[in-house]
Amino acid sequence: MITLTRLSGTKFALNCDLIERVDATPDTVVTLIDGKKYVVIESLDEVLTSVRRHRGEVLAMSTAIDLDVWARTEPRTAQLGTVFEHPTARLGLAHDETDG
């Protein structure tokens, strides 16, 4: 998801996979595939940059995840507050909460 700002100044997150087009008329209008429109303060270039960055992050994260961990069938014993070979541990998404 990308974060955009309405003309009123409120921020919202938008699933960029649902964007059909972005127009600069001169306000930036984001049109979704269901026809819903959002007028945002970000420029057309800023919206495109956000979408590209989001998709790049998704691709980068997908190459870092060890899918073999999900395929393992043997049970693992978990200790409270410890991460055992969790697929997202290398990405910094899973962490030991005792670290503060």
Q: Looking at the structure, tell me whether residues 59 and 89 fall in a common domain.
A: no
- 20-65 pLDDT, tens per residue? 999 999 999 999 999 999 999 999 999 999 999 999 998 888 877 7
Q: Looking at the structure, tell me whether residues 56 and 88 fall in a common domain.
A: no
Q: Looking at the structure, tell me whether residues 79 and 59 fall in a common domain.
A: no
Q: Looking at the structure, tell me whether residues 43 and 90 fall in a common domain.
A: no
- 61-95 pLDDT, tens per residue? 887 776 666 566 555 555 555 545 555 555 555 44
Q: Looking at the structure, tell me whether residues 75 and 89 fall in a common domain.
A: yes
Q: Looking at the structure, tell me whether residues 1 and 18 fall in a common domain.
A: yes
Lookup: tokens for 60? 């980068």
Q: Looking at the structure, tell me whether residues 52 and 98 fall in a common domain.
A: no
Quick one: which of 61, 99, 65, 100 has its CA closest to 85? 65
Give 3-state DSSP helix, strand, coil % of the chain, rounded to 5.
35, 25, 40
For residue 26, whether the previous peptide bond is cis, meaning omega lies within 30 degrees of 0, is: yes
pLDDT score for 63: 79
Give the Å distances, CA to CA, from 93 to 62, 88, 90, 96.
13, 5, 8, 10
Q: How many domains does the chain have?
A: 2
State which residues form the domain around 85.
68-100
d(CA 88, CA 92): 7
Q: Looking at the structure, tell me whether residues 12 and 44 fall in a common domain.
A: yes
